[in-house]
Structure 1
Amino acid sequence: MKEPVRVERLDEATLGGLESVLRAACGMVLAPSVRPSLGTALTRAAESQGLPTADFLQRLLARDTAAVEAFIGYAVIGETYFFRHPEQLRELARLAPAHLGPFLVWSAGCASGEEPYSVAMALLAAGLTPEHIRVVGTDVSGRALERARRATYSPWSVRRIEPELEKRFLSIRPESVSVPPEVRARVEFRRHNLVTDPPPVSGAQAVFCRNVLIYFPPEVIPSILERLVRALAPGGWLFLAPAELPFAKDMGLEEREMEGMPVLRKPVPGERVSTRASRSGPLRVLSKTTSPFRRVQAPSRVAPASQGQAPVAPPAVPAARVAQAAPPSPPPQPPAGPSVSDALEQAWAAARAGQYELAEELARLAARELSPEAYLLLAMVSEGRGDVQGAVAAVRKALYLEPQLAIGHAMLVALYGRLGQPEAAERARRNALHALEGLDDEDVLRGVEAMTVGGLRRALAPGVRMGKSGAR
């Protein structure tokens, strides 16, 4: 078995110093639930430089440029996947064909590149001429951008993509997924700091900056939004994550409705701002296949994000924004083995790398401490292997420990659907909605991936199809 990465246990003073380094370098502020992940980032960055952790930490706190650069590469790396928030990509695909000439999109805080590639695929599927498509992905982490340019991912990055899209746009192998040249040719990557650098493009028809703003301090967010809006052409569209929309309330943008969710548009000077809601239709893929996009919000995860998705943290639940409840902290005395949060963090990293045996072993360690999140992760690993019955059993164990775990009930909706048990799926849907009663839409739910209450409510609406491990 591959040896898990050793996690440094840091005192509050050291954690505060590391956070100061991140804030000075790229403006990021970490949610409390993800602070412990800085120990892992410190260890990995030190190893990448061939230095003992103590020596590397000394250089880092002294703001040595090379040390800071290496640390950012491990502490600010976003976990994302293809076709996240597919309803926004459908809207982009609906709007794009009406535009004449080149179609420019900026993907800000793109992490390892799945988002800009997804944008390019959506535009190609909508029938835009390839030569007219230009997508610019930016991030503060040079390490993340290197991975994006390689365009090779683990199967974990396509855990919620539709089979039709896999067949048309991705090269699928047992151990890897790669983006074909026709898509890569449409995307370029640049190093960019959202806090300090001017916009890298101008006149964009769309800007995506999703699951990024929530990791910046409130006083910094308006200036970042100003840069995003400045990059848009008049009439261009700004796509934020659902929980980040309130940040743009005073930016002078026009708000329209898309599948029950607001979207933001930069008004054209002199035009009368419309208050009418517009509803997008299904994406028409110009091929023999039908539209691959599901009409539902995809879950997203709180993890170190490049430029704005925070550092890899213990798993927590589908599409989040803000600090979320983490598993209980281990007691101060040295534990016999890894803590629950350490085991979950390492398990999640292994699952993302496609190392399912390692992920399962680590998740089982956490499950011994009766962690509901550990059982949800075990369910995802089982589902990834095609063991749907095993996934159901793992989710039911999580719900035994925490009956009001809404994400667990939502996962059962999808799993029972795959098993051809519509009555059980409907019962799970009602249970999930019951668990959400009395919660605010902006609250972040507990689970393995991060998701807001409002996002899950929309995904559980009658008639909405649930994808793998929950809502698409």
Structure 2
Amino acid sequence: MVAVDPRFEAWLSHETGIDAPSLGPNTLERAVLDRTRAMLAARGMPHTVDAVDAAALDAYWLRLNTAPDERQALIEALVVPETWFFRDREAFVTLARVVGEKLAREPMRVLRILSAPCSTGEEPYSAAMALLDAGIDPARFTIDAIDISTRAIEQARRAVYGRNAFRGHPLTFRDRHFTEAAGGWQLSDTVRGLVRFAQGNLSDAPADDTRYDFIFCRNVLIYFHRDAQDQAIRRLDSQLAEDGMIFVGPAETGLMMRHAMTSARIPLAFAFQRTAAGETGARAPLPFRLPLPPEPAASAVGLPGVALPSVPVRPVAARVPAPSRPRPAPSLAAGPVAHPLARPVLPTIPEIEAVLGEPPTVAQARRLADAGNLDEAERVALEIANLRAPEADTFYLLGLIADARGRHADAGDFYRKALYLEPAHYEALTHLAALLDVAGDTVAARQLMLRAERALARQGKTPAASSESGTPEHTRGTHGARRP
């Protein structure tokens, strides 16, 4: 089998919605060959195990279509879950805040949350911990979680997690909700009892007419073919409450805007709501077709001759005068955090400059954006882009800010600048792909996604080797498609 057998590629598309090439080069081929060899060995044919011929593939094709357990086994071979707690923290910050606001208005309401796909449970458990840590009464919410992988569901129910499930800082939630156990950390019974797991597939019709106030479906849709994307989004929309909210991955915002969905305009949460009748919340098509940025073999020096969009920039020459009476110097560090959802109190840019005696950095601009101060974050990033040696991350951050504000043509320009400086910048590739896709240029969008996969492969992070939510790292369970 030199290339993917069309029969198996079509089967995978129909069964799961996954576009086989999105899994990485030869991933489906290797899985089919492994399962065929396993079938031959089980039949006592060891002399043919190493040489899979056309007859053996025909026999496996018959088994795949007649044995439900083999269908699930092949899906499990393609699903490689890898995720961690509180990944993309802003989504959980938003969940806790909006749940609190809804319950303040309707104290007796019970809010419903769905995680689909849920992989090995880190996402729905993070939602549960976020709500508990925000003081939400467990009687006021329910959490359902589905995944196509029965193996992932079993691991989620055991709720014992190793070191890779705990990434970033702070990890104070682990002290509150976990105890050390053999092989890792065991989640508390309190949190485990708040999530109901079930095996399920996004391509299937809903089992009932339950409506959810919040749905997490992050970083899986980009691995589906277009029809499967539309079908999954329609299903999610049918299960969304009238005032509900859907969280997607950063590269999937364009997919949502193909449908009647409007950005909730919450920085870095990538949250969407159903567009109300008469509103024009959907993203307008780009006024031009963005050309693909080049993919040079070596890093380029300098910027392409494209002017920055016209954004007012306040002068930065003035320094804050010394105060008339002593006061503590502002700290740049966030300091101790009470729990993983706490927001740091950030100093202003003039204060930073006064204390450090030097201009701020991209890291400080990102912190400002994370805290919701988009005006100041944009000002800092533009200052860096205009007055210093540019970096790809600077333009990527400017693209995120422009995207969050609905300036999608500007966002595309910034992502292209980032790719000019760093052709293998994965996030810029996926975000620009989303812009191209919503503009109708699906061929160019697909080319960019393939470039993103190649960039990861060069770093040794192929989807097959890794697998939530942000690197195509995980076949995020519910659908077996890997999440970036």
Give the TM-score, by structure 2 length.
Answer: 0.54
Matched to 1:12, the amino acid is: A
Deviation at 1:246, TM superposition (A): 0.4
Distance in 2, matches of 1:432 and 1:270, equals 37
Per-residue displacement from partner, 1:170-189 (whole Å, max 9, x unpaired)? Answer: 23447323221111101011
Distance in 2, matches of 1:48 and 1:133, equals 45
Deviation at 1:96, TM superposition (A): 0.8
1:159 matched to 2:167? The reply is yes
SS in 2 for 1:257: coil
Matched to 1:292, the amino acid is: P
Distance in 2, matches of 1:88 and 1:128, equals 17
Q: Which moved more, 1:163-172 or 1:53-62?
A: 53-62
Residue 406 (structure 2) aligns with:
none
Distance in 2, matches of 1:186 and 1:56, equals 46
1:177 and 1:253, CA in 2 relative to 1: closer, same or farther beyond 3 A?
A: same
Distance in 1, matches of 2:392 and 2:56, equals 42
1:121 and 1:41, CA in 2 relative to 1: closer, same or farther beyond 3 A?
A: farther
Residue 68 (structure 1) aligns with:
71
Residue 322 (structure 1) aligns with:
none
Residue 30 (structure 1) aligns with:
20
Matched to 2:16, the amino acid is: C
Distance in 2, matches of 1:164 and 1:261, equals 22
1:235–1:267 Cα contact (<8 Å) kept: no
Structure 1 unaligned regions, length at least 5: 1-9, 276-287, 297-403, 411-430, 457-472
Select the structure with the greater relative contact order (CA < 8 A; seq sep ≥ 6): 2
1:82 matched to 2:85? The reply is yes
Match of 1:435 among 422, 425, 446: 422
Distance in 1, matches of 2:173 and 2:198, equals 26
2:146–2:197 Cα contact (<8 Å) kept: yes
1:264 matched to 2:312? The reply is no
2:31–2:77 Cα contact (<8 Å) kept: yes
Matched to 2:76, the amino acid is: G
Deviation at 1:164, TM superposition (A): 0.6
1:102–1:132 Cα contact (<8 Å) kept: yes
Distance in 1, matches of 2:225 and 2:148, equals 17
The structure number with the bigger radius of gyration is 2
Residue 100 (structure 2) aligns with:
97
Deviation at 1:106, TM superposition (A): 0.6
Q: Which moved more, 1:81-90 or 1:257-266?
A: 257-266
Q: Which moved more, 1:49-58 or 1:116-125?
A: 49-58
Deviation at 1:139, TM superposition (A): 1.3
Percent of residue pairs bearing the same amino acid type: 26
Residue 292 (structure 1) aligns with:
340
Residue 140 (structure 2) aligns with:
132
Residue 215 (structure 1) aligns with:
223
Matched to 2:263, the amino acid is: E
1:47 and 1:113, CA in 2 relative to 1: closer, same or farther beyond 3 A?
A: farther
Residue 12 (structure 1) aligns with:
3
Within-5 A mapping of 1:357-376: none
Deviation at 1:116, TM superposition (A): 1.1
Per-residue displacement from partner, 1:111-151 (whole Å, max 9, x unpaired)? Answer: 22211111111111111111223111111222221222221
SS in 2 for 1:238: strand
Paired residues in the alignment total 302
SS in 2 for 1:254: strand
- Supply the RMSD in Å over aligned alpha carbons: 4.0
1:247 matched to 2:255? The reply is yes
2:146–2:198 Cα contact (<8 Å) kept: yes
Distance in 2, matches of 1:126 and 1:39, equals 47
SS in 1 for 2:226: coil
Deviation at 1:245, TM superposition (A): 0.8
1:234–1:267 Cα contact (<8 Å) kept: no
Residue 7 (structure 1) aligns with:
none
Residue 229 (structure 1) aligns with:
237
Distance in 1, matches of 2:424 and 2:26, equals 31
1:11 and 1:27, CA in 2 relative to 1: closer, same or farther beyond 3 A?
A: same
Distance in 2, matches of 1:220 and 1:32, equals 13
1:35 and 1:273, CA in 2 relative to 1: closer, same or farther beyond 3 A?
A: closer
SS in 1 for 2:93: helix
Q: Which moved more, 1:168-177 or 1:87-96?
A: 168-177
Residue 42 (structure 2) aligns with:
51
Deviation at 1:85, TM superposition (A): 1.2
Per-residue displacement from partner, 1:216-252 (whole Å, max 9, x unpaired)? Answer: 1112211211111111111111100010010111322
Per-residue displacement from partner, 1:287-340 (whole Å, max 9, x unpaired)? Answer: x961314879xxxxxxxxxxxxxxxxxxxxxxxxxxxxxxxxxxxxxxxxxxxx
Distance in 2, matches of 1:450 and 1:201, equals 38
1:86–1:295 Cα contact (<8 Å) kept: no
Structure 2 unaligned regions, length at least 5: 44-48, 104-108, 284-335, 345-389, 397-417, 433-447, 464-469, 472-484
Deviation at 1:159, TM superposition (A): 2.7
Distance in 2, matches of 1:145 and 1:247, equals 27
Distance in 2, matches of 1:39 and 1:106, equals 33
Within-5 A mapping of 1:370-389: none
